């Protein structure tokens, strides 16, 4: 992934089709990059993701909002993902809060 727009694609796809497992996985990865770049990384961030985050700085506010919206949509539509996404949604919510 080269830029912020490359993260919008999987996040938007998850909003459109929140039950497709492949779309969900790509969107979760993108949302993790958004959260991490905004200063809320998971406990264990893979090295490749860490390098991406370090070279891209802080994400635009609308991208954080899109990540929040897509993860909420996925969690609402899928019980299994609901529990898994709680931490990520909490971290994104902290970023998006004024």
Tens digit of each residue's pLDDT, the chain (98 residues): 448 999 999 999 999 999 999 999 999 999 999 999 999 999 999 999 999 999 998 999 999 999 999 999 999 999 888 888 989 999 998 888 75
User: Model's pTM, two decimal places?
Assistant: 0.90
Name residues whose C-beta falls within 8 Å of residue 44's C-beta, 6 or more positions apart in sequence.
none
Distances (CA, A) of 17 to 22, 36, 62: 10, 24, 20
- Chain centroid to Cα 28, Å, comes to 5
pLDDT at 63: 97
Would you state the pLDDT for residue 1? 44
Domain ranges of the chain: 4-96
């Amino acid at each position: 992934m080269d830029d912020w727009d490359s993260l919008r694609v999987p996040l938007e796809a998850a909003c459109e089709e929140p039950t497709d497992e492949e779309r969900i996985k790509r969107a979760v990865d993108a949302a993790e990059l958004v959260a991490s770049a905004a200063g809320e990384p998971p406990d264990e961030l893979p090295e490749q993701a860490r390098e991406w985050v370090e070279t891209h700085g802080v994400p635009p506010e609308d991208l954080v909002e899109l990540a929040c919206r897509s993860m909420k949509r996925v969690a609402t539509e899928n019980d299994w993902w609901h529990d898994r996404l709680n931490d990520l949604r909490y971290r994104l919510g902290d970023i998006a809060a004024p």
